[in-house]
Structure 1
Amino acid sequence: MGLLKVNISDFIAIVTIDNAPANALASGVLKELSNLLDEFENNEAVRVIILHGEGRFFSAGADIKEFVQVPSGEEFAKLASNGQDLFERVENYSKPVIAAIHGAALGGGLELAMSCHIRLVTNDAKLGLPELQLGIIPGFGGTQRLPKYVGTGRALEMMLTSEPILGSEAVKLGLANHAHPEEKLLEETKALASKFAQKSPNSVKAVIELLNIAKTETYQNGMKKEAELFGGLFGSNDAKEGITAFIEKRKPNFTGK
């Protein structure tokens, strides 16, 4: 891996975008991310993934230099569709993916962050979709995800002005979960990830699946699926371990079985 650095410890994989100077989401970065998702899927040593950026940025967006090499509008549409598919995969991934955002998450960088299950930011991080400054629009799902987090009016304002918001405001709007000083961001993100990693992987997977169902399915279908997954998990070794640990007043040791 050349553009993504990976460190796995205590069931947490920290994936660092390392594409200086602004961690642009070049095609190589997206390909490596796709490969890592393949690798982590059945890796029992990975229960939570943290996406982070090397240097001064999370990611300042797509690699604009690559745009001039795209020969036609049809090819641009294909590029957007491929990016959407990848980010949709992140959103529906079976293990929690947390974006730890410092510096800036702009354009494709914010679109990637919005596809993650949770976002932690620094107070002064800049989050925005400035594509209209280039005469284009967000193409990796930004127009669809941003209003779900901040509302249609605020999303429209952010895109039509091309002006980013600060991390502290992102928390207030619901775009980010928590804000921390930059020197504590990764530490606090790992602390949160550790809490997730201590839960049964199968239960975590089920919750992610159900929350994604809630976005698109009817209430009745969601309830039906919840009952189905509840019943399926109840006979698992992890469920037996969790219930026994509760009765014995000890910490459970979940294995994902």
Structure 2
Amino acid sequence: MMVTSELREDGIRVVTMDAPPVNALTVQGWFDLAAALDEAGRDLATKVVVLRAEGKGFNAGVDIKEMQHTTGFDALLGANRGCYAAFKAVYECAVPVVAAVNGFCVGGGVGLVGNADCIVASDDAYFGVPEVNQGALGAATHMARLVPQHMMRTLYFTARTIKAADLVQFGSVLEVVPRDQLDGAAMKVASEIAAKDGRVIRAAKAALNGIDPIDVNKSYRFEQGFTYELNLMGVSDELRDDFAGTEKSKENK
């Protein structure tokens, strides 16, 4: 399974992504992740969620190979709807979500952590939104929650990445630790939250979402509209083919 969910006795629910080789989720994977987070919020025994990943990176976004190997637009529409559902599920989860980020966190990964309540990262972690390389737009809404406006625009237009250590100065990443200490660091923060009265924490999550200056769901949906336009123009398909061909060449070496 690409997504698993385990509730510990202390009320910490651990949701893990595991989709080798790079945790690029399929359409079903995104919906499964959304379902796991929705379930966590509904379960009153859950006090906090730790969102983590197995493998060499946290999340590489959508599975472009699935998209290019699917006839018509079903995979494209599914990926857009799945990402929207998963990002929304993180943001609207009734309890805080602590993201434990290792290695690469790009594209859809930024959408997930940008909507999380707390981010802990390993010292090899980095973030980026390479969507422009594949003829898509999206996750600027979420990158804007990690870095200041001009930095977000630079990262977005250039498809550059930024190290987790550099995000600490902006306050978006709580701390950076060695890779083998990441789970422990995330659990430490989660344990502090889980020790509080769950009723208060759930009320606090709703209150903080209520005073958020930006509606992240509408903002991301607006971005997706431009992705649809680029697909209708044929630009996105052309760039995805180039990307898929490049990745296949790398695998054959």
TM over 0.5: same fold? Answer: yes
Residues 49-75 of structure 1 deviation map (CA, whole Å, 9 limit, x = unaligned): 111111111112211112222624x98
1:207 aligned onto 2:204: yes
- Counting only pairs closer than 5 Å after superposition, residues 107-122 of structure 1 correspond to structure 2 as 107-122=107-122
Pair 1:206–1:14, CA change in 2 (3 A): same
User: 2:148 matched to which residue of 1?
Assistant: 151
d(CA) in 1 for partners of 2:85, 2:17: 19
Which has the bigger relative contact order, CA under 8 A and spacing at least 6? 2
Cα separation, 2, equivalents of 1:86 and 1:5: 14
For residues 100-150 of structure 1, give each alpha carbon's deviation from its aligned partner in whole angstroms, at most 9, with x where no partner exists.
001110111111111211111112211110111122222xxx122222331
Contact 1:100 1:189 in 2 (8 A): yes
Verify: 1:173 aligned to 2:170, yes or no.
yes
Q: Which amino acid aligns with 1:173?
A: F
Partner in structure 2 of residue 61 of structure 1: 61
Describe the superposition over 1:177-206 as per-residue Cα deviations: whole angstroms up to 9, x where unpaired. Answer: 211111111001101101100111111111
**1:214 Cα deviation after fit:** 1.4
Deviation at 1:82, TM superposition (A): 4.5
In 1, are the aligned partners of 2:110 and 2:127 still within 8 Å (CA)? yes
- Quote the residue 1:242 is aligned against: none
The count of corresponding residues between Structure 1 and Structure 2 is 212
Aligned position for 1:7: 6
How much is the aligned-residue C-alpha RMSD, in angstroms? Answer: 2.0
1:41-60 pair list within 5 angstroms: 41-60=41-60
> Quick one: distance in 2 between partners of 1:71 and 1:172?
44
The Cα of 1:41 is off from its aligned counterpart by 2.9
- Mapping of residues 1-257 of structure 1, within 5 Å: 2-9=1-8, 10-68=10-68, 69=70, 71-72=72-73, 76=76, 79-138=79-138, 142-216=139-213
The answer for unaligned runs of 5 or more in structure 2 is: 215-253
TM-score under structure 2 length normalisation: 0.77
Letter in 2 for 1:7: E
Counterparts of 2:195 and 2:131, CA distance in 1: 40
- In structure 1, runs of 5+ residues without a counterpart are 218-257
Contact 2:17 2:23 in 1 (8 A): yes
Q: Which amino acid aligns with 1:104?
A: F
Contact 1:104–1:127 (CA under 8 A) maintained in structure 2: yes
Render the CA deviation track for 1:225-252: whole Å, top value 9, x for unaligned: xxxxxxxxxxxxxxxxxxxxxxxxxxxx
